[in-house]
């Protein structure tokens, strides 16, 4: 079946180095799944708040640990990344921004924007 061997191969992950846009695309999906899991914490937090001061205090003891703080800032970064890349999806849905040059420029813009937004929230929230 030589004809079959001549068929073009799809860009398989083991032989194809993902371009930046491809990395961002799969990261968008991964952050989406992780953020969905993070929603469990929001339910936990709200339920504890509804149960009263003692339950709330136990969540806070949990949230105050350094690794939970790190995790929650990772969550906020993932949120901003997903938000920025999501905005780009909305631009694409409007039928714009498909040129290769624009794609690569937007890729860097959204990476920078998500970092800046995370830093700005960190500064604002640490201030008060």
Partner 1 sequence: MKYRTPLTKARGLGSAKSGTTHWWAQRVTAAALIPLSYWLIKLIDLGASAPYAETQAWLAAPLNTVGVLAFIAAAFYHAGLGLRVVIEDYVGREGCKIVSIWLVNLIFALLTLTALSAVFRTIQVG
The residue ranges that bind partner 1 (CB under 8 A) are 29, 32-33, 35-36, 39-40, 42-43, 45-47, 49-50, 52-53, 56-57, 59-60, 63-64, 68-69, 72, 75-76, 79, 83, 86-87, 89-90, 93, 121, 125
**Count of alpha carbons within 13 angstroms of residue 26, beta-carbon side:** 6
Nearer to partner 1, 21 or 65 (CB): 65
- If the CB atoms of residues 33 and 112 are measured against partner 1, the closer one turns out to be 33
For the bound state, the minimum distance from the C-beta of residue 43 to partner 1, rounded and expressed in Å, comes to 5
In whole angstroms, the minimum distance from the beta carbon of 18 to partner 1 comes to 17
d(Cα 114, Cα 83) in Å, to the nearest integer? 8
Measure the CA–CA gap between 64 and 70, rounded to whole angstroms. 10
Q: For the chain, how many helices (H) and strands (E)?
A: 5, 0
Q: How far is the CB of 11 from partner 1 (least distance, A)?
A: 16
The Cα 78–Cα 118 span in angstroms is: 9
């Amino acid at each position: 079946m030589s004809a079959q061997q001549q068929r073009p191969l799809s860009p398989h992950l083991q032989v194809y180095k993902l371009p930046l846009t491809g990395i961002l695309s799969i990261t968008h999906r991964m952050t989406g799944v992780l953020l969905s899991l993070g929603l469990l914490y929001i339910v936990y937090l709200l339920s504890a708040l509804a149960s009263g001061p003692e339950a709330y205090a136990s969540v806070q003891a949990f949230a105050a640990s350094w690794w939970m703080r790190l995790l929650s800032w990772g969550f906020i970064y993932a949120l901003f990344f997903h938000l920025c890349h999501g905005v780009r999806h909305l631009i694409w849905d409007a039928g714009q921004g498909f040129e290769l040059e624009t794609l690569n420029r937007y890729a860097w813009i959204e990476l920078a924007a998500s970092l800046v937004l995370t830093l700005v929230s960190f500064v604002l929230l640490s201030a008060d």
